[in-house]
Amino acid sequence: GAVVSQHPSRVICKSGTSVKIECRSLDFQATTMFWYRQFPKQSLMLMATSNEGSKATYEQGVEKDKFLINHASLTLSTLTVTSAHPEDSSFYICSARGASGRNYNEQFFGPGTRLTVL
């Protein structure tokens, strides 16, 4: 299957700082990328959907000015958590989807980024 990487895998930051998380599709062109947040013992919560070259679509309740998403190329999307606070501590996961074909709806997931805000 296709490979999606995330960087960093873990990050610890001070309250008030911004953190950028990268999501890369290594061997295919990802026209759509999804960003999730997951709290302990809970399911994945979709934060936003981004299509290459256009603005991300945020889910209800997700602050677009706090969680900045950029999908400037077919292989890279970034999530920036601005002015992070302890309540933003979570496991952030990205996934990518290709352009077409039988597996159009299949998502390829990154390994996740553990964010801890002190």
Partner 1 sequence: DAKTTQPPSMDCAEGRAANLPCNHSTISGNEYVYWYRQIHSQGPQYIIHGLKNNETNEMASLIITEDRKSSTLILPHATLRDTAVYYCIVRVARFGPGTRLSVLP
Residues that bind partner 1 (CB under 8 A): 1, 4, 6, 34, 36, 42-46, 49, 91, 93, 95, 97, 103, 105-112, 114
What's the rounded Cα separation, in Å, for the pair 81 and 66? 6
Smallest gap from Cβ 44 to partner 1, in A, equals 4
Q: CB-wise, 80 or 107, nearer to partner 1? A: 107
What's the rounded Cα separation, in Å, for the pair 95 and 48? 11
Smallest gap from Cβ 59 to partner 1, in A, equals 10
Q: CB-wise, 14 or 46, nearer to partner 1? A: 46
Smallest gap from Cβ 31 to partner 1, in A, equals 13
